[in-house]
Amino acid sequence: MESTTHKQILSGLQADHFRHPLDLEATAALRQLPGLDVLIRAALGPVAEQVLYLDNISSSVLVSERQLPELHDSLLEACQVLDLEPPQLYVRQHPVPNAYTFAMRGKQPFIVVHTSLIDLLTPAEVQAVIGHELGHLKCDHSVYLTLANLLTLAASQLPLAELWVPTLQTQIMEWVRCAEFTCDRAALLVVQEAKTIAALLMKLSGGSPTLSAQLNVEAFLDQARAYDAAVDSELGELVKQVRSQELTHPLPVLRAREIDRWSSSPEYQSLLNRDATQYNKEMSSQGGWRNW
C-alpha cells in the first residue's frame, strides 16, 4: 500500500468544527429525549463490547505495526489529522464491501473493514473509509447508531411495537443519514482531496476491481448534478423522500455532491489552512460556531 504524506494536521479539531448542519439539527432533536443515550450505554455497552471484541479477535485480523503495517500507518495518520486516539482496526473476510464502527462506552472502540472493500479501492480511498469511520468516533455517533439497530429489531419482534416504534425509528433513521454527511466531511479532512471521496462513492455505487480503471469521477459528479435537476420539482422531491426514508445512508450521488460543495467552501479551506486550535479561539470570539 502506498504511503500518504504532506497532510495538514488539524491540531485541536473538535466535532462541531465540521458537523454537517443537518447532523446538528437531527442530533439536537434526539437529545431532547431525556436520558436516552445514558440508558443505551448502561444497558448494552458492557455486553456488546465483550461480545464484539471476542468476535473480532477470533474471526478477523487485528491491524498493527506487525500486521498489515501499511494499513496501520494509514490509520495512525488519519487519527493524527483528526486529533483522535487510534481505535483498533480489524480486517474481516467478507464478499460485501463495507466498513463499520463500534464504541459504546469508549473503552474499546474499533473499526472493521471488509476485504472486498480493500480489494475495490486505492490506498487513498481506503484511508478515506477509515477517516469516515473515525468521524463516527470523533462525533460520538455510536450510541444512536446502536439505537437504530435496536429499533429495527423491535419493529419486527416486540408486541405492539408498531404503535410506538415507527415515529422514533423515522427520527433516528433521519439522524443516521445526516450523520453520514458529517463523516464524509471527516473523510475529506483526512485525505484532503475531494475527488478521492467522489471516487470512493462512485465505486460503492457501481464499481468492481475489473471496472475501476474505466470509471470517471468527473462523469459521476455530472451525474450527481443531473440528479439535482431531476428532482427539482414537487414530484421529484416526493420521490426522493420516499426513496430515501428507509435507507441507512444518503444516496451516493447526494453524498458526492455534498462533499464536492463543501470542499470549495470557505469553512473547509479555513479548517485546512490553519491550526484548528486557533480556529476554535476565533470562532469563540465571534460568539459560537457557524451553522454550516
In a domain, 208, yes or no: yes
Rounded CA-CA distance 69/90 in Å is: 12
Q: Which of 49, 77, 125, 133 is catalytic?
A: 133
Rounded Cα distance, 230 and 56, in Å: 43
Average the pLDDT over 88-101 and give the result.
93
More confident of the two residues 92 and 285:
92
DSSP at 160? T
**The pLDDT value given to residue 45:** 59
In a domain, 150, yes or no: yes
Of the candidates 17, 12, 16, the residue with the CA atom closest to the CA atom of residue 28: 16
C-beta of residue 11 within 8 angstroms of C-beta of residue 82: no
Residue pair 100/136 in contact (Cβ under 8 Å)? The answer is no
Side-chain-side CA neighbours of residue 229 (13 Å): 6
Cα radius of gyration rounded to whole Å, the chain: 19
Q: What pLDDT sits at residue 157?
A: 46
**Strands 99-102 and 110-114: what pairing?**
antiparallel
User: What pLDDT does residue 76 have?
Assistant: 97
Window from 62-71, 104-113, 176-185, 189-198 with minimum mean pLDDT: 104-113
| Residue 23 placed within a domain | yes
> What does the DSSP assignment read for 150-199?
HHHHHHHHSTTHHHHHHHHHHHHHHHHHHHHHHHHHHHHHHH--HHHHHH
User: 141: pLDDT confidence band, cut at 50, 70 and 90?
Assistant: confident
Locus of grid cell 488519519: 78
Total domains, the chain: 1
Note whether residue 58 is domain-resident.
Answer: yes
133 flagged as catalytic: yes
Q: What's the pTM? A: 0.82
Segment 110-120 shows an average pLDDT of 95
Q: pLDDT tens digits for 37-68? A: 666 666 565 666 777 788 888 999 999 999 99
Return the pLDDT at 158.
Answer: 45
For position 149, what pLDDT does the model report?
58
8 Å CB contact between 84 and 138: yes
Residue 264: φ, ψ to 5°: -100, 5
Rounded to the nearest integer, the mean pLDDT of the chain is: 80
Judged against a pLDDT cut of 50, whether residue 131 lies above it is answered with yes
Instruction: Look at residue 10 and tell me if it is in a domain.
Output: no
Poorest-pLDDT segment among 19-28, 136-145, 199-208: 136-145
The pLDDT value recorded for residue 239 is 62
Position 292 in a domain: no
Per residue in 162-184, pLDDT (tens digit) is 444 455 667 777 788 889 999 99
Domain that holds residue 281: 15-285
DSSP 13: -
**First-to-last CA distance in the chain?**
35
Banded model confidence at residue 99, pLDDT cuts 50, 70, 90: very high
CA distance linking residue 131 with residue 179, whole number of Å: 14
Q: Residue 228 falls within a domain, yes or no?
A: yes
DSSP annotation of 106 reads S
Strand extents, DSSP E, the chain: 61-62, 88-92, 99-102, 110-114
Cell numbers standing for residue 266: 470557505
**216 vs 230, which has greater pLDDT?**
216
Give the pLDDT of residue 196. 96
Place of cell 431532547: 32
Is residue 250 in some structural domain? yes
Mean per-residue pLDDT, 229-250: 66
Helix/strand/coil percent split, the chain, to 5: 65, 5, 30
Is pLDDT at 264 greater than 80 in this prediction?
yes
Give the Cα-Cα-Cα angle 172, 45, 30 (nearest 5 degrees): 25
Question: Which letter does DSSP use for residue 7 in this model?
Answer: P
pLDDT at 161: 42
Mean local confidence (pLDDT), 126-139: 95
